[in-house]
Structure 1
Amino acid sequence: MTPDSATALVTGVTGQDGSYLAERLLADGVAVHGLVHRASPDDTHVDGVVTHPGDLTDAEAMGRLLEEVEPDVVFNLGGISSVGQSWDQPGATARVSGLAPLDLMDACLRLQERSGREVRFVQASSAEIFGEADSSPQDEQTPVRPVNPYGVAKATAHLGANVFRQRGLHAVSCVLYNHESPRRPARFVTRKITQGAAMIAQGRLARLELGNLDARRDWGWAPDYVDAMVRAARHVEPMDFVVATGRAHTVRDFVAAAFARVGIEDWDRVVGVDESLVRPADPTEQRGDASRAAEVLGWTPTVDFAELVGRMVDADLDDPPTR
């Protein structure tokens, strides 16, 4: 499969990762089709993408879409993307982010068998599949033991990729650790922090309320993680890849970096903890070991923690958020 003759189908194409992925694929000469569920204020539209309205949970419709588009590769980035939302809608999360990918993989396999040509599949998995891991950093051999509905759904799709791989589908699961950019929706704590820092610096907000400041996460730059997925899709052998920086920081560190960018060092006077924002179960630390991605794919992250936080703050200063 060469990029200039390939066709890709991307679910979740208007989200943070989907939009960066579409831009990357189009730049590589790939024809990009995108599944769009419903309009959202968070949507990022990319010129050149052929969009198709649809619902991931409608297996028959998704099968028809694959028959129509005949993609060489399917990137499944769609689904419920918030751990917090998964606690409010555990059943919907399981259907959209867990069961729907299995139907999509089955449709890819049936298209492959009918057409006689390879169809590749990339599942955007999550570090949440590891839950409260016994060791850190986590790698591809870490036991899958999620502690929230989001992780359970992602684990279903992640394990499903291995099952369909055994049936002959070129199925890849990229276990993505936290990754951010200015395209991250404001409902996520990272964007809430950078928007809050920008608004406080501009005198447009008096105080920022957050949840658990001690949770430790491995944060990377979203376009870097998209690059890893593209490399994984094009690699000759399908396998799982942990995609991470290998360095963990607390939410408190994220807050400090954001306020430092706007010149506020004593941020604790304008940031508080709201216990209602603390999740029922939150892994203490998530830190990934991306050695396999480095060795097999030649992938390495290009943007460090302080810089990615700074880029998000700068974007919010340039385009002031409203609340």
Structure 2
Amino acid sequence: MKTALITGITGQDGSYLAELLLEKGYRVFGLVRRSSTVTFERIDHIQDRLELVSGDLSDQNSLFYALEASQPDEVYNLAAQSFVQTSWTQPVLTGDVTGLGVTRMLEAIRIFDRERRIRFYQASSSEMFGKVQAVPQDEDTSFYPRSPYGVAKVYGHWATVNYRESYGMYAVSGILFNHESPRRGLEFVTRKVTDGAARISLGLSRELRLGNLDAQRDWGFAGDYVRAMHLMLQQDEPDDYVVATGETHTVQKLVELAFSAVGLDWREHVKLDERFMRPAEVDLLVGDPGKAKRKLGWEPEVNFESLVTMMVEADLERLRGNRRSAVSSAV
């Protein structure tokens, strides 16, 4: 039985990855921060099969403790301050957790694992490409980040490469393009749109305010992307991979599909709001997953239209459930 330690296990990717590893017979540990607010809803259904350890990427000693407690074969570093918009208002926190946090974990593994047995995965991001230098983007495309989040991710990416080349560690980065699901946080534009469409269709809201509708992204399903993470750590030699669909869509297309799924005309409900415009927008992000397909045998299984429909239906079900619960409580 292999053992894995996942940082960020309570997030979207962490929950899907934990499910995948449990299905494969892994013993799964999750690093969680001490908090007065319980945020385990994404892993509630599997929590009795997980082993949670306390720790934080900003606290080096807690990472040593987590490694000692879990004795992992594989470490998946998914934890980060991952909301791009927030990185503009909290750039120092983003740099500390999303950037330096990677180095803290790599250094903890380097010292703890003298035999170089542990395999390490770093969650890199397409936001590192920012002001893109080539279209589509692959593993050799230069980085030009356009947000504090992107800058921090570049730091973590190159730290991973440096530890691999300097210390002979099995350390890889997955340069993942946007990946979504019903478990995506409401602060992200995809979930904001699908939740907004569902609310309006149920009469819970009247309008949805958004920023740049012309922004284009390469969106895939998070459940597909965690399969690529696992495959990266099963190869003979460590390497970095772009994980993407190779297709791009505008925010407006996302909006059209979401509102169409509930039988509404988006133009009657969506309002543009300057508050949601970024100080610096990225250009056309579209990934070339050719290397992942060739070397890992990875292919995305859920297309964009199916993904948006899945998310809208999940939000409708959640909101209807909330309404039924409210009615029952009132009675």
TM-score, length of structure 2 as denominator length = 0.93
CA distance in 2, matches of 1:110, 1:216: 42
Match of 1:168 in 2: 168
Give how far 1:27 is off.
Answer: 0.8
Match of 1:55 in 2: 56
Aligned residues: 316
Match of 1:200 in 2: 200
Trace 1:2-41 onto structure 2 (pairs within 5 A). Answer: 5-37=1-33, 38=35, 39-41=37-39
Match of 2:317 in 1: 318
Give how far 1:134 is off.
Answer: 2.2
CA distance in 2, matches of 1:65, 1:313: 37
CA distance in 1, matches of 2:39, 2:5: 22
State the AA in 2 paired with 1:101: V
Give how far 1:284 is off.
Answer: 2.3
Give how far 1:42 is off.
Answer: 7.2
Give how far 1:91 is off.
Answer: 0.5
Q: Aligned-residue CA RMSD in angstroms?
A: 1.4
CA distance in 1, matches of 2:296, 2:19: 20
Report the 3-state secondary structure (helix = DSSP H, G, I; strand = E; otherwise coil) of the residue aligned with 2:93. helix
- Contact 2:10–2:39 (CA under 8 A) maintained in structure 1: no
Trace 1:134-145 onto structure 2 (pairs within 5 A). Answer: 134-145=133-144
State the AA in 2 paired with 1:295: R
TM-score, length of structure 1 as denominator length = 0.95
Describe the shift of the 1:256–1:40 C-alpha distance in structure 2 as closer, same or farther (beyond 3 A). farther
Displaced runs of 4+ in structure 1, greater than 4 A? Answer: 40-43
Deviation track 1:24-46 (CA, whole Å, cap 9, x = no partner) reads 10110100000112345574123
* Percentage identity across paired residues of the two chains: 47
Report the 3-state secondary structure (helix = DSSP H, G, I; strand = E; otherwise coil) of the residue aligned with 1:234. coil
CA distance in 2, matches of 1:211, 1:273: 6
CA distance in 2, matches of 1:117, 1:304: 38
Describe the shift of the 1:84–1:17 C-alpha distance in structure 2 as closer, same or farther (beyond 3 A). same
Q: Which runs of 5+ in 1 are unaligned?
A: none
Q: Which runs of 5+ in 2 are unaligned?
A: 324-331
Match of 2:329 in 1: none
CA distance in 2, matches of 1:103, 1:206: 46
CA distance in 2, matches of 1:41, 1:191: 18
Match of 1:68 in 2: 69
Q: Select which of 42, 59, 64 maps to 1:44.
A: 42
Trace 1:266-285 onto structure 2 (pairs within 5 A). Answer: 266-285=265-284
State the AA in 2 paired with 1:183: R
